[in-house]
Amino acid sequence: METQAGQPPSPDEAKRTLHELGRDESAVRYPPLPQWFFLAMAALVAGLALAQLLESSDSSRATFALAVVAVVLASRYWLNRDGVSWASARFTDMLPFVLGILGTFAASAVIAATTGASWVWIVAAALAGAFVIRTGRTYRREFGE
Partner 1 sequence: MTARAPAFNEVIHAPQRLRICAMLSGAQKLEFGLLQDRLGLSKSALSKHLTLLVEAGYVRHERALRDSRSRLWLSLTPEGARAYSAHVQALQQIVATHEA
Q: For partner 1, give the closer residue by CB, 84 or 98.
A: 84
Backbone angles phi, psi at 132, to 5 degrees: -65, -45
Determine the interface stretch with partner 1 among 20-28, 67-75, 104-112, 136-144 (rule: CB under 8 A).
Answer: 20-28
Which is nearest to 42 in space by CA: 115, 88, 106, 104?
Answer: 104
Closest approach of partner 1 to the CB of residue 12, in Å: 8
DSSP state of 10: P
Closest approach of partner 1 to the CB of residue 145, in Å: 18
Binding pattern for the stretch 78-107 against partner 1, x by CB under 8 A and - elsewhere: ----xxxxxxx-------------------
Binding flag, residue 75, partner 1 (CB under 8 A): no
Binding flag, residue 26, partner 1 (CB under 8 A): yes
CB atoms within 10 A of CB 56: 8
> Which residues are CB-contacts of 25 (< 8 A; sequence separation ≥ 6)?
none
DSSP state of 3: P
Q: For partner 1, give the closer residue by CB, 29 or 134.
A: 29
